A and B are shown apart, each in its own frame.
Chain A
Amino acid sequence: MKFDWHTVSTHIILILGAIFMTFPVWVAFMTSTHAPETILREGLQLLPGGHFFETYNEVLFVEGGVMKKVTAMQMTKNSLILGIGFAIGKVVISMLAAYAIVYFRFRLAAPLFWVIFMTLLLPLEVRIIPSYKVVADLGLLDTHTGLIIPLIASATGTFFFRQFFRSVPEELLEAARLDGAGAWRFFIDILVPLSKTMIAAILIIMFVVGWNQYLWPLIMTTKEENYTLVIGIKQIYQVIAEGGELPQFQKAFALTILATLPPVLVVLIFQNWFVKGLVESEK
């Protein structure tokens, strides 16, 4: 048999790629299980150390273990609220809006669609200071409402459901109307069940997007108990940057692992839905 160089080189490239993508996280995880003295003396670690339970216990549950007061457990809770709240809010709001746009004839349909479209031109980063001011004026700093609501209105979800609703056969609406179903009935009993897979895919993507929010929670939250894990990252960065006698590198690494784990698990478990949702929603 001839030695197949092409297949071998393909595997080598893929293995190198896989190493490139996973190695940093592997090193972060392994290093997080070592004692700070070891890390300072020997540098990053490739193999597990004996301090896994000690470090993660301290980071997750002990007050003052990682931040001044708030534990990583509390930050995980805040991140979950943000991720889930963002995902659900986004799906509900954009499904309703897409339903109105696709299934109704009304005078302001076109201008309102353009208003929704315009949000694509206004990423948070370019309106950051006035947005902060609006939320502050409404008294919504440090609240879940103020954190989630301004994030959920952008157009991506609406476009996605608009595209999907358009592909739903017209006969369904005709039949539903013959049966005397009203607008709300049709939406709840027919359209929502039909969109189940799409809803799941969008929920997964949006959970990851919500969990990973950085700039907005950063300026929105002033109290430590409202920090998300991703914001905790920024705080621990500052602690590390300032130095100190014995930099707690293992805790910084543990925090990156904790901030990474839930969205990674969601993506891995629902891989097929996730890929479908991502590729479809960006079309």
Chain B
Amino acid sequence: MKRVQFEHSAIPYMFIAPQIIIIAVFFLWPAAQAVYQSFLLEDAFGLSSQFVWFKNYFDTIGSTSWLQAAGFTIVFSTLVTILSLAIALLLAVKANEVIRGARTYKTLLMWAYAIAPPVAGLMGNLMFHPLIGDLYKFMNTIGFDFDHKLDPYDAGFVVVLISVWKQVSVNFIFFLSGLQGIPKSVNEAALMDEKSSFRRFWTITFPLLAPTTFFLMVINITYAFFETFGIIDTTTRGAPGGATTTLVFKVFQDGFRGADIGGSSAQSVVLMLMVLGLTVIQFRFIERKVHY
């Protein structure tokens, strides 16, 4: 808040109105609808509906397919987050050390940020295409009986690989800017105290990057939950047998393809609560960062 402010009655409302109106119509209203519909059971023709309390929640969330999707989402998010953070951190540390070609490396490592997840998905899909995909052939040549159309683990591998590939650049940008924010004097002092660059990294640099890492973890989990929809929709589509279906993909599938509005809405509400949880964690952390 500014100390000096305008004092008007109507003008601030005019400035803030466009955003508030759009939010009300396209955010709050649909979200309220989702909550409301999650308590309704519609008949097959959508003609009448009945208030059923938490039945939709028990039915869908207790179902094996939802539990399977939840299990996959957890494993998938964990793998994508850890792998893309680890690769990005390694590359950022090296890109920060290097003198010759620093800018070229930086550009080559960050540019994939601009590629849309479904585009990455289709590219990966073609690389693994049984007819032409060299990666598909390669996996079979080195001795795997690789078939991502039939084997759930192979399908999971494909989705994780593409999702990690797509996310490395964002993490790289943030890690590099975090590293560049560490004062030179700290690095010089560390250089005198600790000869091993490996130990220097883990005892000095990494703790200083902790805020960045934590922030990126939240970003990456959100990415793995929501934005990977485009990757899954252009690669496995949740197959085989729902083995690579994430929770978000399931909301879409049940709601649009399956026309199960109540169940899909109940899943949406559960996802909203998950995002709420993530946001709370993020903000508690940001508060702590302020007191640093």
Contact = CB atoms under 8 A, between A and B. Distances in A.
A135 B27 CA distance: 11
Interface stretch (A53-61, A69-77, A99-107, A195-203): A99-107
Interface stretch (B49-57, B125-133, B182-190): B125-133
B248 to A, nearest CB: 5
B197 interface: yes
Contacts of B27: 118-119, 122, 127, 153-154
Nearest to B264: A129
Contacts of B1: 102
Interface residues of A, number: 95
A177 B8 CA distance: 13
B26 A173 contact: no
A215 to B, nearest CB: 6
A268 to B, nearest CB: 6
B91 A129 contact: no
Q: Contact size class for B?
A: 35 or more
Given A44-B127, A236-B122, A134 B25 contact: yes
A125 interface: yes
Given A127-B268, A267-B111, A275-B110, A166 B2 contact: yes
* Secondary structure of the B contact surface, majority rule: helix
B34 A149 contact: no
Given A127-B30, A233-B122, A260 B114 contact: yes
* Secondary structure of the A contact surface, majority rule: helix
A120 B57 CA distance: 23
Given A39-B132, A125-B251, 18 more contacts: A17-B90, A28-B123, A40-B131, A40-B132, A92-B18, A97-B16, A100-B16, A119-B23, A119-B27, A122-B31, A125-B252, A149-B26, A170-B4, A173-B4, A212-B115, A214-B230, A263-B114, A267-B113
Interface of B: 1-9, 11-13, 15-16, 18-20, 22-31, 33-34, 37, 87, 90-91, 94-95, 97-98, 101, 105, 107-127, 129, 131-134, 137, 165, 168-170, 173-174, 177, 197, 215, 219, 222, 226, 229-230, 233-234, 248, 251-252, 255-256, 261, 264-265, 268-269, 271-272, 275-276, 279
The 10 A-B residue pairs whose C-beta atoms are closest, nearest first, are A212-B116, A130-B30, A104-B12, A130-B33, A100-B15, A153-B22, A263-B114, A150-B26, A18-B108, A100-B16
